[in-house]
Amino acid sequence: MSSNTSRMRDIFRIKTSRALDRMEDPREALDDSYDQQVRMLQQVRQGLAEVATARKRIELQGQEMGARYQRLAQQAQEALTQGREDLARKALERRSLLEGQVAALRDQHAMLERQQAQLQENERRLTERLEAFRVEKETMKASYTASQAQARANEVAAGISTQMNDAGASLNRAKDKIAQMQARASATEELLASGALNDLTAPADSDLERQLAAGAAKADVERQLQSMKDAAAAGSRDGAGSNPNDPDSWKSIGQGSSAP
């Protein structure tokens, strides 16, 4: 009874432990952490793409301003050639205003270049860290899986050992019962043979018949012994008329003379 209770307690503990392992599987925690870092890296790359796009837009705008700046210089020169100082002055005024806009655009472009460089460095470091974490994560997951498999194998082996112990105990009990039954059968057989124990299923007066048969067998042995002694004294051997080499000699056993 106690062994069954202990086995049930062990089974319940193992099942509970497995349920907790499924709820707190470190492999899932590692994968979740890795996914979070992947999302962070995606956000950094998205920001890097946005900054690079803004920088490129400023570069295109700066190229347009540069082309206009050159065109205004040409227009001012052409106005002077035509004697139109007023147009030349207007072109130079616009050119001067454009210089201020280009200066502001240049500062903004430099700022975006610094931001892009910083984001590129962050992206490089995060990528390296993420790759290192991925390798370590897969290694830890493999180690956990191997340890889990070994633990389950050990649990199965422990269960087999317990069952084998129970089977061995059952086998020993069976052997003891068989030995007891054999001893009991032998004892009752001896009692029946001696007449101390009556066989209720035997015919009436069977004990007398058994004793008479035993006395007759004993008398027959004594008679055969005396016959052998007489034959030895007469210097002859009584073969009961049988030839030992005769293949049918067995048929005369128990008939006529019983001398050997």
Are residue 109 and residue 226 in the same domain, yes or no?
A: no
Contact in structure between 259 and 227 (CB atoms under 8 Å)? yes
CA distances from 129 to 24, 26, 28, 38, 45 (A): 25, 20, 19, 11, 15
The confidence band for 199, taking pLDDT boundaries of 50, 70 and 90, is low
Using DSSP's 3-state secondary structure scheme, residue 87 falls into helix
Are residue 110 and residue 238 in the same domain, yes or no?
A: no
Using DSSP's 3-state secondary structure scheme, residue 124 falls into helix
Contact in structure between 55 and 112 (CB atoms under 8 Å)? yes
Task: Report if residue 259 sits inside a domain.
Answer: no
Are residue 141 and residue 235 in the same domain, yes or no?
A: no
Closest CA to 6 of 122, 165, 151, 142: 165
Q: Specify the range with the lowest mean pLDDT, choosing from 129-133, 196-200, 233-237.
A: 196-200
Are residue 132 and residue 79 in the same domain, yes or no?
A: yes
Are residue 138 and residue 247 in the same domain, yes or no?
A: no
Q: Specify the range with the lowest mean pLDDT, choosing from 23-32, 59-68, 90-99, 102-111.
A: 23-32
Of 150, 172, 194, which closes a domain?
A: 172
Reported as type and span, the H/E element at residue 142 is: helix 85-194
Task: Report if residue 200 sits inside a domain.
Answer: no
Taking the C-alpha atoms of residue 249 and residue 194, their distance in angstroms, rounded to an integer, is 36
Q: Specify the range with the lowest mean pLDDT, choosing from 24-33, 76-85, 124-133, 156-165.
A: 156-165
Q: Which tokens go with 64?
A: 């347009």
Q: Where are the beta strands (DSSP E) in the chain?
A: none
144 pLDDT more than 80: yes
Are residue 79 and residue 28 in the same domain, yes or no?
A: yes
Task: Report if residue 156 sits inside a domain.
Answer: yes
178 pLDDT more than 50: yes
pLDDT of res. 239: 47
Task: Report if residue 20 sits inside a domain.
Answer: yes
Task: Report if residue 79 sits inside a domain.
Answer: yes
Q: Specify the range with the lowest mean pLDDT, choosing from 9-18, 126-135, 173-182, 221-230.
A: 9-18
Residue type, 239: G
For residue range 19-63, list pLDDT tens digits in order: 545 557 888 888 888 899 899 889 989 999 999 999 999 999 999
Are residue 225 and residue 151 in the same domain, yes or no?
A: no
1 pLDDT more than 60: no
Domain count of the fold of the chain: 2
Are residue 159 and residue 237 in the same domain, yes or no?
A: no
Q: Is the pTM of this model over 0.85?
A: no
**Residues 169-191, mean pLDDT to the nearest whole number:** 75
The residue among 221 and 94 whose pLDDT is bigger is 94
Taking the C-alpha atoms of residue 108 and residue 54, their distance in angstroms, rounded to an integer, is 10
Task: Report if residue 258 sits inside a domain.
Answer: no
CA distances from 73 to 59, 65, 80, 82, 104 (A): 21, 12, 11, 14, 20
Q: Specify the range with the lowest mean pLDDT, choosing from 204-208, 219-223, 224-228.
A: 204-208
Residues 40/44/50/55 CA torsion (nearest 10 deg): 170
The confidence band for 240, taking pLDDT boundaries of 50, 70 and 90, is very low
65-74: list long-range contacts, CB under 8 Å, 24+ apart: 65/98, 65/101, 65/102, 65/105, 66/102, 68/98, 69/95, 69/98, 69/99, 69/102, 72/98
Are residue 143 and residue 71 in the same domain, yes or no?
A: yes
Task: Report if residue 196 sits inside a domain.
Answer: no
Of 172, 190, 219, which closes a domain?
A: 172
Looking at every residue in the chain, the average pLDDT score rounds to 78
pLDDT of res. 216: 79
Range of the domain at 159: 2-172
Contact in structure between 22 and 152 (CB atoms under 8 Å)? no
Task: Report if residue 260 sits inside a domain.
Answer: no
Are residue 163 and residue 72 in the same domain, yes or no?
A: yes
Are residue 34 and residue 105 in the same domain, yes or no?
A: yes
Are residue 140 and residue 242 in the same domain, yes or no?
A: no
Closest CA to 225 of 243, 142, 217: 217
